[in-house]
Amino acid sequence: MPNSTNNSSSARLMDGAIPAALLAAVRSERPLIHHITNSVTVNDCANITICIGAAPVMAEAPEEVAEMVAAAGALVLNIGTLSAAQVEAMLIAGRRANELGIPVVLDPVGAGATRFRTETAQKLLDTLDIAVLKGNAGEIGVLAGTGGSVRGVDSGGVMGDPVETARACARSTGTVVSMTGAVDVVTDGSRVFLVRNGNPAMDRLSGTGCMASSVTAAFVAVADDYAVASAAALAAFGLAGERAARGARGPYSFRTGLFDELAGLTPDDLTRGARIEER
């Protein structure tokens, strides 16, 4: 039986004007994206947020996060370098964001690798109203309870159909699930969007998953439909990756190109280049 991510017989291509309009809105509104994130990729996440057209702030002291998030358009919670103090800050900021109707994007980095990570991701999902759960296939499989493999912070894949895994996770958590992979899968449990933009070089560079969460938060901050916004964000990020790969000589020239291409991406580029299938 063919993998459903490769079966597009019932899919239709999303109008490229939709992600283009969201990119234009990000550039026009320049939402503040509050990050409580990991120390490995914090600078890359800040810069990629600027490149997409939003404004980053990195603040995780429990004493200030509630005040800081009140000014934000979206909140990113990333558990990549987790600590007990950081979990406390995430809960404080997340509760305040929920009170104010500010969308929260959770990146459950390494969920399934250790009990602490898995339990923290589950606690955040249970305690907070998460707008988007953005993770790799292994992490989503673990949180869906359908089986997923994680080695360190890298995905080992899922057992079974990735679309059904993402859909099961969305239904069980009540959130939009954005599952990255060779083909990205975004679902609210009912609708499914397959994003076919991207380049394999993105998997060979540390931090691209974290950066994708930042870009997702920028799009979610200016949208009412979080599933469409998440798919549009991954299409924009993936299209920048495709363009960066053309002139890259290796991982670090690709990294530089990725920032440059995303910063230079226009709504018209996204209209023509976004490859998002809806089913």
Task: Walk along the chain (279 residues) and give the pLDDT tens digit of each residue.
Answer: 233 454 445 679 999 999 999 999 999 999 999 999 999 999 999 999 999 999 999 999 999 999 999 999 999 999 999 999 999 999 999 999 999 999 999 999 989 889 999 999 999 999 999 999 999 998 999 898 865 544 444 444 555 688 999 999 999 999 999 999 999 999 999 999 999 999 999 988 999 999 999 999 999 999 999 999 999 999 999 999 999 999 899 999 999 999 999 999 999 999 999 999 998
* Closest of 136, 188, 134, 191 to residue 162, by C-alpha: 136
- Residue 267: inside a domain: no
- How far apart CA 152 and CA 215 sit, in angstroms, is 23
- Residue 70: inside a domain: yes
Per-residue model confidence (pLDDT) at position 113: 83
- Residue 198: inside a domain: no
What does 1-54 look like in DSSP terms, one character per residue? ---GGG--TT-EEPPTHHHHHHHHHHHHH--EEEEE--TTTHHHHHHHHHHHT-
* Total domains present in the chain: 1
Q: What is the mean pLDDT of the chain?
A: 92
- How far apart CA 29 and CA 43 sit, in angstroms, is 22
- Residue 32: inside a domain: yes
Per-residue model confidence (pLDDT) at position 161: 85
Compute φ and ψ for 213, nearest 5 degrees. Answer: -65, -40
Structural domain boundaries, residue 115: 4-12+28-193+205-226
- Residue 19: inside a domain: no
Per-residue model confidence (pLDDT) at position 4: 45
- Residue 265: inside a domain: no
CB atoms within 10 A of CB 128: 20
- Find where tokens 């406390």 sit: 88
DSSP state of 176: E
CATH code at 34? 3.40.1190.20
Q: 201-234 pLDDT, tens per residue? A: 998 899 999 999 999 999 999 999 999 999 999 9
Per-residue model confidence (pLDDT) at position 146: 63
Per-residue model confidence (pLDDT) at position 183: 95
User: At a CB cut-off of 8 Å and minimum separation 6, what does 218 contact?
Assistant: 26, 31, 33, 49, 52, 53, 54, 73, 74, 233
* Closest of 255, 221, 276, 202 to residue 43, by C-alpha: 255
Beta bridge partners, 148, equal: 158
- How far apart CA 233 and CA 260 sit, in angstroms, is 16
Per-residue model confidence (pLDDT) at position 242: 97
Q: 110-138 pLDDT, tens per residue? A: 898 899 999 999 999 999 999 999 999 98
- Residue 255: inside a domain: no
In three-state secondary structure terms, 78 is: strand
- Residue 270: inside a domain: no
CB atoms within 10 A of CB 116: 15
Per-residue model confidence (pLDDT) at position 246: 95
DSSP state of 188: S
